[in-house]
């Protein structure tokens, strides 16, 4: 085979910021801190700070391959960590602060994090976590010296002190483009969370593919607000695509309620925002109260859970904000599909098409298969399990998985656990999920964890958790329980017991007692039959209380 004769310069994450600082140096990163104070800095200034941080990381002994954790909201400092950590060849491990403390401790130990950067409003969580974190972990609070909260573990440093005094020049090492750059854990259906380990190459490919697939969001005239957290799969790639295309970034910090988002968007002239449907419910309520939208906002990308027809219609018809619906997964960097809207003629795609999950992005291949693994037709006539492959899809989990056959097919395609139809034009419509998980406000709740925890409650003989639709959260957990013989167990007893083992938002909204749970022929609880029973009017359900 004749080889091409082109240079092989590796794709690298810091090259994005080098480029943005030079070509889009005046575009800005706006960042609201937990108290609502706003910091504004250009991409040029951001790069200077990243170079200082890279020097500081090397000085404290971070070396290529090390995992450096963050427990933080969307801010300029978190963005700087993304670039400096990956730029020196280490791995930026973003941890979701909303997880239950046991899960955070498990994840930090599995990743063997050597440093933890955290936001000061999470100091109490860090204090509780400290004895369970990897030994010798270095703690750095994302603040200046004066902002260090009292009572932190000895030796906790401040970010600004670390960075101050470091030179603003640094020679990025020439890393192979397949070098790991980022790590994000996702809930497993069974067992512990699993880590998706991104590379410089996959991150660059993803950044470019979303600019191509969602062009309206990008360009120097756009000011984009990632309402999706930086700890959720790289805020869906925006920390990379925005500077690459010259869009300014508006980081909202921890305040994602409707009024705070509205004010920030209005004051900072946000034109675009990306996030899960639950976030937009809050913003819509605020827009209704004020009878207007944030001044410059023209488009929202909504993904992570299915968007409802009512939400699209309210945003588009009542407020003139165009909706783009996207689908993706942690394992896919994450965006896989998005609605293709006309850049110059907004609102021309019918709402019925926006309820679909969108068309595949360049580089993402999709197929659907039946239960026996045979490929099904991609003409929307058949639904099957959705499998994907591409440059932005994981080839394995961090430290591997014992369930390789359940994760990939024999040709290496990744099993998404979603059930879908695909059209000849690459349109995706999700119809169901094979994985036993509940997605509430964009965050996962494992049905199996909930059931296992419930079964340790005295008085519970059997338990099964299912998702019930919820207007605000998309889905909420319902727990069906069969009591053990003995004194009458109450719903409060079960909830009290679960509160010691799970985060508050993971607790079931409802505990329903049943005489028995429906079983499959092989003796497993039939979630299908349970959902079907509970969808009936209360009087028509067998043995519930």
List residues near ligand AMP by CB under 6 A.
186, 233, 303-306, 325, 327-330, 334, 357, 416-418, 430, 433, 439, 444
Closest approach, Cβ 358 to ligand AMP, in A, equals 8
Where do the H-state alpha helices sit in 164-308? 200-213, 238-245, 258-267, 277-290
Shortest gap between Cβ of 366 and ligand AMP (angstroms)? 12
Q: Tell me which residue of 506, 508, 432 sits closest to 464, measured CA to CA.
A: 508
What's the gap between Cα 242 and its chain centre? 17
Residue with smaller CB distance to ligand AMP, 168 or 448 = 448
Cα–Cα distances in angstroms (integers) from residue 236 to residues 292, 342, 443, 482, 519, in the given order:
28, 22, 14, 41, 39
Least separation, in Å, of the C-beta of 251 and ligand AMP? Answer: 20
The least distance separating ligand AMP from the CB of residue 305, rounded to whole angstroms, comes to 5
Q: Judged by CB, which is closer to ligand AMP: 229, or 417?
A: 417
Which is nearer to ligand AMP, 52 or 356 (by Cβ)? 356
- Among residues 119, 62, 118, 71, which one has the least CA distance to residue 91? 62
- CA 415 vs CA 199, 366, 368, 405, 434: distances in Å: 20, 10, 10, 9, 10
C-beta of 331: minimal distance to ligand AMP in Å? 7
444 vs 67, 105, 297, 356, 418, CA distance in Å? 24, 18, 29, 21, 14
Residue closest to ligand AMP when measured from CB atoms: 330
Angle at 121 between CA 94 and CA 68, to 5 degrees: 25
Closer residue to ligand AMP in complex, CB, 434/462 = 434
> CA-CA distance, 302 to 306, in Å (whole number)?
8
Which CB sits closer to ligand AMP, 32 or 422? Answer: 422
> Could you say which of 274, 413, 444, 473 is catalytic?
444
Contact yes or no for 455/463 (Cβ under 8 A):
yes
Q: Among candidates 222, 228, 224, 180, which has minimal Cα distance to 201?
A: 180
Q: How far, in Å, CA of 420 to CA of 441, rounded? A: 21
Q: CB-wise, 32 or 301, nearer to ligand AMP? A: 301
Given 216, 293, 356, 439, the catalytic residue: 439
Supply φ then ψ for residue 500, to 5 degrees: -80, -10
Half-sphere exposure (Cβ direction) of 350: Cα atoms closer than 13 Å: 2
Q: Name the residue nearer to ligand AMP (CB basis): 325 or 360.
A: 325
Tell me which of 186, 189, 271, 392 is the catalytic residue: 186
Cβ atoms of residues 470 and 528 within 8 Å: no
φ/ψ region of 480 (left if φ > 0, alpha if ψ in -120 to 50, else beta) reads: beta
Report in angstroms how near the CB of residue 28 gets to ligand AMP at its nearest.
28
Assess whether 186 carries a catalytic annotation.
Answer: yes
By C-beta, is 245 or 416 nearer to ligand AMP? 416
- Report d(CA 97, CA 345) in Å as an integer: 40
296 among known catalytic residues = no
Write down the least CB distance from residue 363 to ligand AMP, Å: 18
Residue 439 annotated among the catalytic residues of the structure: yes
Instruction: Spot the catalytic one: 80, 316, 331, 443.
Output: 331
CB atoms within 10 A of CB 150: 5
Distances (CA, A) of 434 to 178, 384, 385, 430: 31, 10, 8, 11
What is the nearest approach in angstroms of ligand AMP to the Cβ of residue 386?
8
Q: So which residues are the catalytic ones? A: 186, 331, 439, 444
């Amino acid at each position: 085979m004749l080889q091409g004769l082109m240079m092989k310069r590796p794709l690298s994450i810091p090259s994005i910021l080098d480029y943005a600082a030079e070509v889009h140096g005046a575009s800005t990163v706006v960042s609201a801190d937990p108290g609502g104070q706003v910091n504004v800095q250009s991409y040029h200034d951001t790069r200077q700070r990243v170079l200082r941080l890279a020097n500081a990381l090397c000085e404290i002994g971070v070396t290529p391959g090390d995992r450096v954790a963050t427990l933080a909201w969307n801010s300029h400092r978190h963005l700087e960590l993304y670039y400096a950590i990956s730029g020196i060849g280490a791995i930026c491990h973003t941890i979701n602060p909303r997880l239950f403390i046991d899960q955070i401790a498990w994840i930090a130990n599995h990743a063997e994090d050597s440093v933890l950067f955290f936001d000061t409003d999470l100091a109490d969580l860090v204090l509780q976590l400290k004895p369970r974190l990897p030994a010798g972990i270095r703690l750095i609070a994302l603040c200046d010296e004066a902002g260090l909260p009292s009572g932190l573990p000895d030796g906790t440093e401040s970010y600004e002190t670390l960075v101050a005094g470091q030179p603003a020049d640094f020679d990025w090492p020439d890393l192979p483009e397949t070098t790991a750059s980022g790590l994000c854990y996702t809930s497993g259906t069974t067992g512990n969370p699993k880590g998706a380990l991104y590379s410089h190459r996959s991150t660059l490919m993803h950044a470019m593919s979303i600019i191509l697939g969602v062009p309206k969001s990008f360009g120097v005239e756009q000011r984009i607000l990632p309402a999706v957290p930086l700890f959720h799969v790289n805020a869906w790639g925006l920390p990379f695509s925005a500077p690459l295309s010259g869009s300014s970034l508006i980081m909202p910090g921890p305040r994602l309620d409707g009024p705070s988002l509205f004010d920030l968007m209005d004051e900072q002239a946000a034109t675009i925002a990306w996030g899960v449907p639950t976030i937009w419910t809050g913003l819509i309520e605020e827009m209704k109260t004020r009878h207007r939208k944030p001044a410059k906002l023209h488009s929202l990308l909504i993904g992570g859970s299915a968007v409802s027809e009512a939400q699209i219609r309210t945003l588009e018809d009542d407020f003139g904000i165009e909706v783009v619906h996207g689908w993706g997964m942690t394992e896919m960097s994450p965006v896989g599909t998005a609605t293709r809207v006309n850049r110059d003629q907004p609102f021309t795609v019918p709402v019925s098409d926006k309820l679909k999950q969108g068309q595949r992005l360049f580089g993402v291949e999709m197929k659907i298969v039946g239960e026996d693994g045979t490929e099904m037709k991609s003409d929307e006539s058949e639904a099957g399990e959705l499998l994907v492959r591409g440059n932005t899809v994981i080839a394995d989990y961090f430290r591997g998985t014992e369930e390789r056959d359940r994760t990939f097919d024999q040709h290496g395609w990744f099993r998404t656990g979603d059930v879908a139809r695909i059209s000849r034009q690459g349109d995706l419509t999700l119809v169901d999920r094979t994985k036993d998980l509940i997605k509430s406000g964009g965050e996962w709740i494992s049905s199996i964890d909930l059931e296992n925890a419930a079964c340790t409650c005295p008085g519970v003989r059997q338990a099964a958790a299912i998702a019930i639709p919820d207007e605000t959260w998309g889905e909420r957990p319902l727990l069906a329980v069969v009591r053990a013989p003995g004194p009458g167990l109450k719903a409060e007893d079960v909830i009290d017991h679960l509160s010691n083992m799970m985060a508050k938002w993971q607790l079931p909204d409802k505990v329903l007692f049943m005489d028995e749970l429906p079983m499959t022929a092989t003796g497993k609880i039939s979630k299908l039959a349970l959902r079907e029973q509970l969808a009936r009017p209360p009087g028509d359900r067998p043995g519930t209380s």
